[in-house]
Amino acid sequence: MKLWALRHGEAVPYGAKADSERELTPHGRKEVSNSAAHLMGQTLTAIYASPYLRAQQTAEIVREALGFKPQIRTVDWLTPESDPDKVAEQLVSVSNVLLVSHNPLVGNLLSYLQHGAGYPPERVGTAGLAELESAELLIGSMTLNSLKHP
């Protein structure tokens, strides 16, 4: 099983809008395009994304860059403060999917899937793309094949 996790691109700073409404900056869009290039040739079965605007925009940029036909699957379990264990429960029956989310979730999830509970999170910058792999989804046993930043 392969799993990719992508943190959204650079977003506008906190301001008058709610965190969930922050959108990508032009630089953030470019970051995401650069990260999407690393997914070329990969066989994705689905793209799951947080409902937050910046994650939706990130997922759509990737979808267009790859010519991926299926619609983005918007899920509440990929928001910034989601529990990595709850995310892992959702991934038991899937393979070759891209998760588009936020920190602290992305860093915590990568650490959790590699090492189990109690380890520090992976450091993932904006538009950071991680590839994990294992024979099956077992907490603490996935291998981090790569972590690329634009």
pLDDT digits (tens, 9 = 90+) for 27-74: 999 999 999 999 999 999 999 999 999 999 999 999 999 999 999 999
CA distance 81 to 84: 9
Residue 110: the pLDDT is 98
Can you state the percent helix, strand and coil of the chain, rounding each to 5?
35, 20, 45
The residue with greater pLDDT, 135 or 26, is 26
Domains in the chain, ordered, with CATH?
Answer: 2-9+19-148 (3.40.50.1240)
- Mean pLDDT, to the nearest integer, of 118-136? 96
What is the C-alpha to C-alpha distance for residues 26 and 121, in angstroms, rounded to an integer?
Answer: 28
Confidence class of residue 11 from pLDDT cuts 50, 70 and 90? very high
Residue 40 sits at the vertex; the CA angle it makes with 7 and 86, to the nearest 5 degrees, is: 35
pTM metric for this prediction: 0.97
What is the per-residue pLDDT for 136?
86
Query: What pLDDT is stored for residue 17 in this prediction?
Result: 80
Q: What integer best gives the mean pLDDT of the chain?
A: 96
- Report the pLDDT averaged over residues 121-148: 95
Of 100, 95, 107, nearest in space to 134 by CA? 95
Q: Which residue has the tokens 């605007």?
A: 53
Higher pLDDT pick, 107 / 138: 107
Is residue 11 a contact partner of residue 135, using CB atoms and an 8 Å limit? no
* Model confidence pLDDT, tens digit, residues 93-113: 899 999 999 999 999 999 999
Residue 16 pLDDT exceeds 80? no
Question: 3 vs 23, 56, 98, 137, CA distance in Å?
Answer: 25, 18, 6, 10
- Contact predicate 29/122, CB 8 Å: no
More confident position, 36 or 15: 36
